[in-house]
Structure 1
Amino acid sequence: MFRHPRSLRAFHWAPRSIRGRVTALVALLSMLLLIPSGVLAGMVTRQELADAGWLDARRAADLMAAADRAGRLTDPVVTSSVPMVNVIQVVGPDGRVRAASPDAAGLPALSTVRPTAADPQRDLQVCRAPLGCVRLSAVRVTPAAGSNVIYAGGPVHPGIKTGVFDALFAVQVLALIALAAWAAWKITGRTLRPVEAIRAELAATNVNDLSSRVPEPQGDDEIARLARTINGTLERLENAKGRMERALAAQRQFASDASHELRTPVAGLRAQLEEARLHPADTDLPALLDRTLSDVDRLQDIMADLLLLAKIGGDTPLEVCEVDLAETVRMEVGRRTATDRVPVELRLARGTVVMGVGTQITRVLTNLLNNAQRHAARGVQVEVRHNGRYAELLVSDDGDGIAEADRERIFERFTRLDASRCRDSGGSGLGLAIVRDIVRAHGGSIEAGAADTGGARFTVRLPLYHRPPGASPCAPATTHRPMAPAFAAH
C-alpha cells in the first residue's frame, strides 16, 4: 500500500473533534463567501466615491457656468457652494484664465480640453503641480464660439489611491470570519455538550451495573432521540441481563435437582446390590430383583422426562397438525380405563381443534390425568370447551387441592409438595414442568386453581384453529418452534 510521506500527510490534517471540524468548515465557507464580497464591496465603494467626486465637480461647474451667464462671477471665485470642490478656473477662448479660485490662482489653464457645442460637458483628470492629481469637470458656458469654459473639481482623495478602503474592508472581512468561527465553536460546543455527557455516562457503565441512564436533553432533535434510544437499549440490556441471570440460576438449580434425583435411585441400587453380594445366602433374590427393577424404572422415567424436556426446548423441527382435543381426550381416557384408580367423567365440546404436535398434546393430557389420579379421592373430571379464541382443557380432582402459595411453584422442575414427597406416589417431579413447557411451546398457557369438588383444577388454554379453505391439515416441520428453551427461567 502506498503511504504518504510525512511532508505530504501534513496537508491532510483535519481537526479530530466534530466541534473543530464544524468550526473549520464554517471558517472556510466564511472565507469563500466574505473575501470575494469584501473585494467587491471595496471596488463598489471606490467607484461610488469616484462617482461622488465627479458629481460634485459637475455640480460646481454647472453653478459657475450659470453664474458666468448671469454676469455674477467674481475673481477670485468663491467655492463654498460645493465643499469638496476647491479648484475652479474660468478659461476664455484664447486659453487665458479669466477667473480662478484661491487654490488655482496664478496657475495656467488646467487643461487644454475644450468641450464643443455638441458635447458641452467633459470629465477629465489631470495631474499638475502643486495641486497634484485633480478630477475636473469641464463645462462650456454657451454654445457660442467665444464661450468660456469652466474647469471645476477637487483633488483625488488620497485614501482611494493608498488603499485605505481596501485595508478597511480587509479588516472587516477578517473580523466577520473570526466572528463566524467563534460563533460556530460556541454553538457547536453547546450543541454537542449533551453528547459528551452521554459519552461520559456510557464510559462509566459496565456490565455489572446496567441501571444507569444517560441524561436526556429537552426537545426532539437528533441528540434527544439518540439519548432516548440509548436509554431504551440500556433498559433492554438490563432486562436481558436479569433474564439471563434467572436462566443461569434456573440451570444451576435444575442441574442440582437432576443430579440429586438421579443419585438417589442409583445409590439405592448400589446399596442393595452390595448387600446382596456381602450376604448372598440371606438375600431374597426375587424381592431384590423387584426392588432394583423399580429403581431402574424410576431412573428410566426421569431420563425419559429429561429427554422430552430437551426435545421441547431444542431446535429440532417438528411437524404440527390439527389436533381434535375432544377426540384426543376420549381416546386417551378409553385407553386408561382399566388401569385408572378412580373413574373419569368427561364433558367434551365437539369441534375443539388446535394446531400442534399430537404426541405432545397427548403427553399434556397424560401427565395431568396421572397427577389427578394420584390425588383424587373418588373421581376425576375432564372438560374440553371453547372460550372465545381459545380452546380450554380442564382436568379436576376431588383431592386435597393445592395451596394458593404453591400454585406457581408446582410447575417448577423436580417440585413435589410435602404431601407427595414419597418416591412411590410423588412421581419424578417433572410431569407438570413438562406440561407447562409443551403448552407454552404451543402458544398457550396453564394455571392451577381450585375445583368445584374441592380438589385441584388445571386449566390449559390453547389457540383455536380454523383451517382455511384448501389448506393442508399439517404445516411444514420448520414452522413449529418452541417458545422457550428447555432450561430457561419462566
Structure 2
Amino acid sequence: MADRPRWWSSVRARTTAMATAVVAVALVAAGLAVLAVLRHNLVDSAGLQAESTARNIAAQVAAGTDFANLELPDADSQPVQVVSAERRVLAADDDLLGRGPMAEFSPAAESESEETDDEEDEDESEEHESKQVSAPDSGAIAFRDMRLPVAHDDTGSHEFRVAALQADTRAGQDITIYAGASLAIADNAVAGVRRAMLIGLPLLLALVASVTWLVTRRALRPVEAIRTELAEIMGGDLSRRVPVPASHDEIARLATTTNTTLTALEESAQRQRRFIADAAHELRSPIASLRTQLEVAKAHPRLLELDGLIADSVRLEHLAADLLLLARLDAGEQPRTDRVDLAALIHDEIAHRTGDLHPVHVVIPEDRIAVLGSRIQLGRVLANLVDNAQRHAATAVRITLTHNDNEVVLAVSDDGTGVPLADRDRIFRRFVRLDDARSREDGGAGLGLAIVRDVVERHRGEIRVDDSTDGGARFAVILPNADR
C-alpha cells in the first residue's frame, strides 16, 4: 500500500480538504435544486401563457369568428393551430398552415389513457370489456413539452410548452386548439444561471479553502507550541511547562492537563532518584559488612563469626524483598481480591512470632470480619506494624479489630513514647527513621511503614496515626468491609 502524501498528514490540510469537499457537494446539490426549481417555474409560466392563448382562440371561435379571420399570435414564439376532429388543420399561422397538426395529443386521448391506467391498477386480473371513452367536456386542456419546426426551421430545434384545448364552434363542431409557448426564455435563463454558478463555484471554494486554512492554522498554533515545548522537555528538563493559551477552550485544557502530567512525571522522577540513592546507600552497609567479615575470615579463619554473617544476610534479604515489593507497587500492580478473614490472619501472625521482646495482646470480636484483598500483602502490613510497635514499646503491644457496616479497623498500639504530631506524615516516607530509632540494627531500613501505606492504599483503605490509650502510638488501618 502506497504511503499517503506528506501534505495529507497535516491536520490543517485534511481539515481544509474535507471542508472544501463538503461545501462543494453542498453547493452543487443546492445549485442543481435551484436550477430544477427555476426551470419548473419558468415552464409552468410558459404553460400558463399557452393556456391563455388557447382560451383566447377558443373564445373567438365560440363568438362565431371565421377561422380565416382569427387573431393569431406570432408563430415564432407562440405557434397556434386549430385542428378538427378529423385531424385537419382549420386555422394556423402562415408557417404552420400548410403543415399537418403540430401535435398528436388531445385532452380526450389523455383522459382515455388515464382511465385505462386506473382500471388496470384496480384489478389487473379482470378482462376489460371494450368500451368507448367519451370525449371530455369542452374546455378540457392538456400540456406537453415538444419540439416544433417554426420560423422556417425544419430541424425541430425549438422547444415549446404546448397546450391542447378541447373546444366547440358555434355550429357544434368539435375542435382542438393547439397553442405553444416558447421555452427558449426558460432555457436561456437556466443556462445563464448555470454559467454564473460554474464561474462562481471555484471562486467560492477557493475562498472557503483559504478561510478554513487560515482559521485552522490559527486554531492549531497553540498545539504546535505545545508540541515544540514537549519535544524540548522530553530532552531531559522536566521542570519546564508547556504554554497555556488564554482561550479557555479544549486546547487550553489540554495544555493544563499536560502540565499536570509533567508535574507528576517530575515528582515521580525525583522519587525514583531518591529511591535509587537511598536503596544504594542502604545496600552498601550490609554488603560492606559482609565483605569485611569474609575478608577477615579469609585471613584468619578462626575469627569467622557465622552469627554476624547470617544476620547481615537476613537483613540484606529483607531489604531486597522490601525493595522488590515497593517496585511492584510503584509499577501499578493491583492486589488480589480474595476474601481475607482478618481474625485468622492475626492469629496466624502471632503464632509464628517467637522472638518478640514484648508480649502482644489481641482483642478480637467473636464474629467473622473479612475484607477483600491479598492475604500475603495484608499479612505484611500487620507484621510491619507489629515490628514497628515492638521497637518502640515499653512493656507491651496491643492488636484490636473492630468493624461496622462499612469499614473494618485494624489497630496496632504500643505504650512507648508515641509519634510527634509533626512526624506523623513523614514516618510513612521511604528510608525515614525518627531520631530515637536511627540505628540500622534497631530501626530497620525505614521501609516498613512506607510499605504499609502503599499496600493499604492499593486496598482502597487508609492508615491513621494517633495517640494510644496506653500512652504510645496507635496505627489504625481502615479497610472496606467485604460484607457491606
Bin the TM-score by the shorter chain: 0.5 to 0.7
Contact kept? 2:464, 2:475, Cα under 8 Å: yes
Q: Which letter maps to 1:260?
A: H
1:285 to 294, 303, 312: 303
TM-aligned CA deviation for residue 260 of structure 1: 0.6
* Residue of structure 2 equivalent to 1:124: 92
CA distance in 1, matches of 2:22, 2:406: 59
**Counterpart position of 2:156:** none
Q: Which of residues 230, 235, 246 in structure 1 aligns to 2:267? A: 246
Answering whether residue 409 of structure 2 is matched by residue 388 of structure 1, we say: no
Asked whether 1:324 is paired with 2:345, we answer: no
Structure 1, 294-303 or 373-382: larger mean CA deviation: 294-303
Secondary structure, in 3 states, of the residue corresponding to 1:396?
A: strand
**Partners in 1 of 2:293 and 2:454 — Cα distance?**
36
For the pair 1:367 / 2:384, whether they are aligned, the reply is yes
User: Structure 1 residues 187, 63: CA separation in 2 closer, same or farther (over 3 Å shift)?
Assistant: farther
Identity of paired residues, percent?
30
User: Separation in 2 of the partners of 1:304 and 1:143?
Assistant: 124
Conserved in 2, the CA contact under 8 Å of 1:26 and 1:184?
A: no
Instruction: Tell me whether 1:342 sits opposite 2:358 in the alignment.
Output: yes
Q: Provide the C-alpha distance between the structure 2 equivalents of 1:431 and 1:364, rounded to a whole number of angstroms.
A: 8
Instruction: Give the distance between the partners of 1:112 and 1:203, measured in 2 at CA.
Output: 76
Give runs of aligned pairs for residues 77-156 of structure 1, distance below 5 A: 124-127=92-95, 143=171
1:47–1:290: structure 2 CA closer, same or farther, 3 Å change rule? closer
Which residue of 1 is the match for residue 223 of structure 2? Answer: 202
Q: Deviation at 1:22? A: 1.9
1:328-477 residue pairs with structure 2 within 5 A? 328-336=345-353, 339-350=355-366, 351-466=368-483
- Which residue identity is paired with 2:49? L
Contact 1:392–1:460 (8 Å) recurs in 2: yes
Task: Give, in angstroms, the shift of residue 415 of structure 1.
Answer: 1.6
Instruction: Provide, for residues 282-316 of structure 1, a one-character-per-residue CA deviation record: whole Å limited to 9, x for no partner.
Output: x9936x66555544443233123224445666799
Larger Cα-atom Rg: 1
Seen in structure 2, the aligned counterparts of structure 1 residues 440 and 90 have a Cα distance that, compared at 3 Å, is: closer
Q: Which runs of 5+ in 1 are unaligned?
A: 3-13, 69-87, 92-99, 101-110, 145-153, 218-226, 468-490
SS at match of 1:204: helix
> C-alpha displacement at 1:17, in angstroms?
1.3
In 1, the alpha carbon distance for the partners of 2:203 and 2:322 equals 74
Deviation string, structure 1 residues 388-445 (Cα, Å, up to 9, x no partner): 3222110112222223333233222212122221122211211112222333343433
- Say whether residues 1:28 and 2:28 are aligned partners: yes
Amino acid of the structure 1 residue aligned with 2:264: R
| 8 A Cα contact 1:54 1:123, kept in partner | no
Q: In structure 1, what residue type is equivalent to 2:428?
A: F
Over 3 Å counting, the alpha-carbon distance change for 1:183 and 1:453 in structure 2 is farther
Match of 1:265 in 2: 286
SS in 1 for 2:361: strand
* Residues 215 and 326 of structure 1, relative CA distance in 2, 3 Å threshold: same
Give 1:252 deviation, angstroms. Answer: 1.9
User: Does structure 1 conserve the Cα–Cα contact (< 8 Å) formed by 2:384 and 2:452?
Assistant: yes
Change over 3 Å in CA distance of 1:451–1:192 after alignment to 2: farther
Match of 1:170 in 2: 191
CA distance in 2, matches of 1:112, 1:409: 111
Supply the AA of the counterpart residue of 2:356: D
Structure 1 residues 114 and 186, CA, compared in 2 at 3 Å: closer, same or farther? closer
TM-score using structure 1 length: 0.61
> 8 Å contact 2:296–2:303 — kept in the other structure?
no
Instruction: Measure, in 2, the Cα distance between the counterparts of 1:140 and 1:345.
Output: 126
**In 2: Cα distance, 1:356 partner to 1:258 partner:** 28
Instruction: Describe the superposition over 1:61-91 as per-residue Cα deviations: whole angstroms up to 9, x where unpaired.
Output: 76795xx9xxxxxxxxxxxxxxxxxxx9869
Amino acid of the structure 2 residue aligned with 1:377: A
Which residue of structure 2 aligns with residue 482 of structure 1? Answer: none
Q: Does 1:299 align with 2:299?
A: no
| Aligned counterparts of 1:331 and 1:140: Cα–Cα separation in 2 | 120
CA contact (8 A) 1:30 1:177 kept: no
Distance 1:197 1:459, change over 3 A: farther
**RMSD (Å) for aligned C-alpha atoms:** 5.2
Distance 1:296 1:258 in 2: 16
Displacement of 1:450 after TM fit?
2.7
**TM-score normalized by the length of structure 2:** 0.61
C-alpha separation in 2, matches of 1:189 and 1:124: 60
Shift in CA distance, 192/451, structure 1 to aligned 2, threshold 3 Å: farther
User: Partner residue of 2:110?
Assistant: none
Give CA-to-partner distance per residue, 1:29-65, whole Å, 9 cap, x none.
2343344444444443333333334444555676795
Measure how far apart 1:385 and its partner are: 0.7
The secondary structure found in structure 1 opposite 2:463 is: strand
Mark the runs of 5 or more structure 2 residues left unpaired by the alignment.
3-13, 72-79, 97-149, 152-164, 173-178, 234-240
In 2, distance between residues paired with 1:112 and 1:466?
A: 100
Partner of 2:47: 47
Contact kept in structure 2, 1:439 and 1:460, CA below 8 Å: yes
| Contact 1:27 1:178 survives alignment (8 Å) | no
Secondary structure of the structure 2 residue equivalent to 1:205: helix
**Larger mean Cα displacement after TM superposition, 361-370 or 311-320:** 311-320
> 1:328 and 1:190, CA in 2 relative to 1: closer, same or farther beyond 3 A?
same
Letter matched to residue 449 of structure 2: L
Give the Cα–Cα distance (whole angstroms) in 2 for the partners of residues 113 and 308 of structure 1: 108
Which residue type is aligned with residue 306 of structure 1?
L
Displacement, 1:20?
1.7
Secondary structure of 2:482's partner?
coil
